[in-house]
Chains A and B, each alone.
Chain A
Amino acid sequence: MKKYSLFSLARNAFSHHQNWQPAWRNPEPKPAYDVLIVGGGGHGLATAYYLAKEHGISNVAVLEKGWIGGGNTGRNTTIVRSNYLWDEAAQLYEKSLQLWEGLSQDINYNVMFSQRGVFNLAHTLQDVRDVQRRVHANLLNGVDSEWVPVDRLKQMIPILNVSSDARYPVLGASLQRRGGVARHDAVAWGFARAADARGVDIIQNCEVTGIRREGGQVVGVDTTRGAISARKIGVVTAGNSSVLAAMADLRFPIDSHPLQALVSEPLKPILDTVVMSNAVHGYVSQSDKGELVIGAGIDAYTGYGQRGSPHIIEGNLAAIKELFPMFSRVRMLRQWGGIVDTCPDACPIISKTPVSGLYFNCGWGTGGFKATPGSGWVFAHTIARDQPHSLNAPFSLERFVTGHLIDEHGAAGVAH
Chain B
Amino acid sequence: MLQIDCPWCGPRDETEFSYGGEAHIVRPSDPDATSDEAWADYLFMRTNPRGRHAEQWCHAHGCRRWFNVVRDTVSYRIEAVYRIGGQGPGGSHDPA
Task: Give the B-binding residues of A (Cβ under 8 A).
Answer: 240, 242-243, 246, 251-256, 300-305, 309-311, 344, 400-403
C-alpha gap A300/B17 in the complex (Å): 10
Decide if B76 is an interface residue (CB 8 Å cutoff): yes
C-alpha gap A303/B40 in the complex (Å): 23
Pick the residue among A246, A252, A256, A401 that contacts B37 (CB under 8 A): A401
C-alpha gap A252/B46 in the complex (Å): 6
Say whether, besides A302-B53, A401-B40, A309 and B46 are in contact (CB < 8 Å): no
C-alpha gap A255/B19 in the complex (Å): 12
Number of A-B contacts (CB under 8 A): 67
Of residues B19, B37, B55, which shows the largest number of chain A Cβ atoms within 10 Å of its Cβ? B19
C-alpha gap A311/B48 in the complex (Å): 24
Q: Across the interface, do B48 and A242 meet the contact criterion of CB distance under 8 Å?
A: yes
Task: Give the A-binding residues of B (Cβ under 8 A).
Answer: 1-2, 14-15, 18-19, 21, 36-37, 40-41, 43-50, 53, 55, 71, 73-76
Measured between C-beta atoms, what is the minimum distance from A363 to chain B in Å?
Answer: 11
Of residues A251, A300, A301, A305, which shows the largest number of chain B Cβ atoms within 10 Å of its Cβ? A301
C-alpha gap A155/B55 in the complex (Å): 49
Say whether, besides A255-B21, A309-B1, A304 and B50 are in contact (CB < 8 Å): yes
Q: Across the interface, do A242 and B49 meet the contact criterion of CB distance under 8 Å?
A: yes
Q: Across the interface, do A242 and B47 meet the contact criterion of CB distance under 8 Å?
A: yes
Q: Across the interface, do B74 and A251 meet the contact criterion of CB distance under 8 Å?
A: no
Q: Across the interface, do A400 and B73 meet the contact criterion of CB distance under 8 Å?
A: no
C-alpha gap A253/B18 in the complex (Å): 20
Q: Across the interface, do A243 and B50 meet the contact criterion of CB distance under 8 Å?
A: yes
Q: Across the interface, do B48 and A400 meet the contact criterion of CB distance under 8 Å?
A: no
Q: Across the interface, do B1 and A400 meet the contact criterion of CB distance under 8 Å?
A: no
C-alpha gap A309/B1 in the complex (Å): 5
Say whether, besides A301-B55, A304-B73, A309-B14, A400 and B45 are in contact (CB < 8 Å): yes
**B residues less than 8 Å from A246 (CB atoms):** 49
C-alpha gap A240/B50 in the complex (Å): 8
